[in-house]
């Protein structure tokens, strides 16, 4: 199933079904794509406005950067579901002989690493534009500050949701170095996402005061 090509209604229906995909990982990637898209939108609504002329070069750079991020994160919606399928298929491999057991174990570990790497890549990509969300909220068109705030919420959800999927796969991975490095980096990303959302919330509160 090519999830990203589904209509919105069909995607929601597929998520609500009893099938395991699309699941939380794909939805987290979609949240990341929407965070990037909203950030790009606010930057676009700022470009060309005399009131925000000083911020235009920065907004143009953000809009270009976030256009690419949106597309990459949208593709991750399907990559996450594909990664789940790989794990599922690995567990179905035969285990009647010692050789088969060894091959099955290796296949499972390979699939689990991929299943952790895909959502981790979502986290890393969203992490690259967390400062941009704060910038469009602070310096962008203030008529769209609520959109910037929703972008911050989507980004936070993408990181925490994808991060949870990383962590659940790491519990079954036997490569300690792989696990420890990923947890170390993930902890920083999760902290930064929550901190950014708090800063944008303060900017919103100031605008609403």
pLDDT-based confidence at residue 180 (cuts at 50, 70, 90) = very high
Is residue 191 assigned to a domain? Answer: yes
Q: Within a 10 A sphere around the Cβ of 140, how many other Cβ atoms?
A: 28
Is residue 56 assigned to a domain? Answer: yes
What is the domain count for the chain?
1
pLDDT of residue 25: 95
Is residue 154 assigned to a domain? Answer: yes
Give the distance, in angstroms, between the CA of residue 70 and the centroid of all CA atoms in the same chain. 10
Is residue 136 assigned to a domain? Answer: yes
Helix-helix angle 130-139:56-91, to 10 degrees: 150
Q: How far apart are CA 76 and CA 202, in angstroms?
A: 31
pLDDT-based confidence at residue 1 (cuts at 50, 70, 90) = low
Is residue 73 assigned to a domain? Answer: yes
Is residue 199 assigned to a domain? Answer: yes
- Note the pLDDT tens digit of each residue in 10-60: 999 999 999 999 999 999 999 999 999 999 999 999 999 999 999 999 999
- Note the pLDDT tens digit of each residue in 63-108: 999 999 999 999 999 999 999 999 999 999 999 999 999 999 999 9
Which residues constitute the domain of residue 191?
21-77+119-208
Is residue 98 assigned to a domain? Answer: no
pTM for this structure? 0.95
Q: Please, what is the average pLDDT of the chain?
A: 96
CATH code (residue 185): 1.20.120.680
Pair 119, 166: CB distance under 8 Å: yes
Which residue is listed with tokens 């690419």?
Answer: 68
Is residue 167 assigned to a domain? Answer: yes
């Amino acid at each position: 199933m090519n999830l990203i090509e589904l209509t919105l209604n069909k995607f929601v229906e597929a998520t609500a079904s009893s099938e395991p995909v699309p699941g939380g990982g794909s939805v987290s990637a979609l949240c990341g794509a929407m965070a990037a898209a909203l950030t790009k939108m606010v930057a676009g609504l700022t470009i060309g406005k005399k009131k925000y002329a000083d911020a235009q070069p920065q907004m143009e750079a953000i809009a270009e950067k976030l256009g690419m991020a949106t597309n990459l994160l949208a593709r991750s919606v399907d990559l996450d579901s594909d990664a789940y399928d790989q794990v599922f298929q690995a567990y179905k491999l035969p285990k009647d002989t010692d050789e088969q057991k060894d091959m099955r174990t290796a296949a499972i570990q390979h699939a689990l690493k991929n299943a952790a790497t895909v959502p981790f890549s979502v986290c890393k990509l969203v992490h690259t534009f967390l400062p941009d969300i704060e910038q469009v909220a602070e310096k962008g068109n203030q008529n769209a500050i609520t959109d910037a705030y929703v972008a911050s919420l989507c980004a936070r959800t993408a990181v925490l949701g994808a991060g949870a999927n990383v962590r659940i796969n790491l519990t079954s991975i036997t490569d300690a170095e792989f696990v420890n490095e990923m947890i170390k980096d993930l902890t920083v990303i999760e902290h930064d996402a929550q901190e950014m959302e708090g800063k944008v919330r303060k900017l919103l509160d100031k605008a609403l005061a």
